[in-house]
Amino acid sequence: MTSTQAQRGATSDTTAIRAVIQVVQLHKRYGDFTAVDHIDLEVGDDEIFGILGPNGAGKTTTLEMIEGLREPDGGMIEVNGIDAIREPNRVKHLIGVQLQTTSLFDHLTVRELIALFAALYDADTSSERIDQLLALVSLEEKSDARANQLSGGQQQRLSIALALVNDPEIVFLDEPTTGLDPQARRNLWDVISGLRAAGKTIVLTTHYMEEAEVLCDRVAIMDTGRIIACDTPLRLIQSLEQEATIRARVARGLDLDQFRELPGVIDAEIAEDQLSIRTHDVQTSLTALLALATEIDLRLDNLATTNANLEDVFLNLTGRSLRE
Ligand SMILES: Nc1ncnc2c1ncn2[C@@H]1O[C@H](COP(=O)(O)OP(=O)(O)O)[C@@H](O)[C@H]1O
Ligand SMILES: [Mg+2]
């Protein structure tokens, strides 16, 4: 990063992040439908910034407007101080965009594909550089495999390598782990963390709250075209003042008020036969719950507690579950 960019980043910001992406009042409609509704965003240097939200929230539209692939209806986007709406071509040199690997190139090997993309970008095509890219995405062993012989997770890693051929400062990943099994997802998280360690800024979208929580330095929670919260995962969760959710299977037709009145309890609900009690003091609430269960001869099956997480943050802000 150059000193001019550093100066530019030193803008007014309470969290003192150096902004490489600044988005102000960005909006986009499809006909009468508002997909992105006047959002503000600031992405700092060398951070993994996540946009978390359910399907249809407006994540891809937002990402593609910043990438210069969709035209906004209004607002401002600056990437490294460049007006991305007026000068998308200058921005394209700074960014890497993960594309879905296309079957068009299935007959090429991993190494050949990376070399081809590097050549298209007029970037370094030396075998040292290709080895370096292969190492960044942990595909050294697959360098001579054809793209159509790769697993889903390996294909995702290949598409990240292709996004890196021009050595971009900022990498955009749209739902990079959707459809992957848990093991492949964790491997990809390691790859993405490695990019941050290599000095890249990463902007990714996801609808997996665990991914946002584990991987992202900061998370913007998006719903129906709006950013409804933006902070570190920890601060978002702490803002809830909810310690945990206590869950158990119970007989139906119970009076909820008796659970809501227990000490420490924020709220209680029963869906099907699943009792959920949100508490800001799990030990106190659980002790009282067990005493109540003994008193009214209530059986609590599969009793478990889960620490508050981004799912709870979303639920608290929208009244809906992220997974719905
Ligand atoms: N090209 C388009 N034309 C019309 N509606 C669209 C188009 N692209 C997206 N939408 C709608 O805009 C909303 C946001 O879509 P999108 O940005 O893809 O959300 P996400 O990536 O969070 O799932 C959705 O309701 C979607 O159906
Ligand atoms: Mg999307």
Q: What is the pLDDT of residues 102-152, one digit of tens each?
A: 666 788 999 999 999 999 888 999 999 999 999 989 999 999 999 889 998
pTM of the model: 0.88
> With bands split at pLDDT 50, 70 and 90, how would you rate the model's confidence at 317?
very high
Hey, which of 30, 51, 100, 318 would you mutate to test ligand 1's pocket, going by the most ligand atoms within 8 Å of its Cβ?
A: 30
Within 6 A (CB) of ligand 1 lie 30, 35, 53, 55-61
CA dihedral (59, 61, 66, 69) positive or negative = positive
State the burial class of residue 179 (Cβ atoms within 10 Å of its Cβ: 0-12, 13-18, 19+).
exposed
Give the tens place of pLDDT for each residue, 241-254. Answer: 899 999 999 987 89
CB hemisphere CA count around 117 (13 angstroms) = 26
pLDDT > 70 fraction of the chain, expressed in percent and rounded: 93
Residue nearest to atom 27 of ligand 1 (CA): 56
**Rounded Cα–Cα distance for residues 133 and 312 (Å):** 38
| 32, 33, 61, 227: residue to mutate for ligand 1 pocket, most atoms within 8 A of CB | 61
> What pLDDT shows up at residue 8?
36
Protein residue whose Cα sits closest to atom 26 of ligand 1: 56
| Domains annotated on the chain, with CATH | 3-238 (3.40.50.300), 244-307 (3.30.70.100)
How far does the centroid of ligand 2 lie from the alpha carbon of residue 59, in Å? 5
> Which atom of ligand 1 is found nearest the CA of 57?
22
* Ligand 1 center from residue 304 Cα (angstroms): 37
Q: Relative to the alpha carbon of 52, which ligand is closest?
A: 1
- Taking only the tens place, the pLDDT of each residue in 76-91 is 999 999 999 999 999 9
CA of 79 to the centre of ligand 1 (A): 23
How many CB atoms are located within 10 Å of the residue 189 CB? 17
Atom 4 in ligand 1: which residue has the minimum CA distance? 30
C-alpha 35 to ligand 1 mean position (Å): 6
pLDDT of residue 180: 87
Distance 64 CA to ligand 2 centre (A): 10
- Taking the C-alpha atoms of residue 64 and residue 172, their distance in angstroms, rounded to an integer, is 9
CA dihedral 58, 15, 13, 209 (to 10 degrees): 0
Shortest-distance Cα residue to atom 8 of ligand 1: 61
Q: Which atom of ligand 1 is nearest to the CA of 175?
A: 21
Q: Which residue has the tokens 């959920």?
A: 276
Atom of ligand 1 nearest to the CA of 53: 22
Q: Looking at the CA of 100, name the nearest ligand.
A: 2
Residues 154-175, mean pLDDT to the nearest whole number: 93
Q: How far is the CA of 41 from the centre of ligand 2 (A)?
A: 17
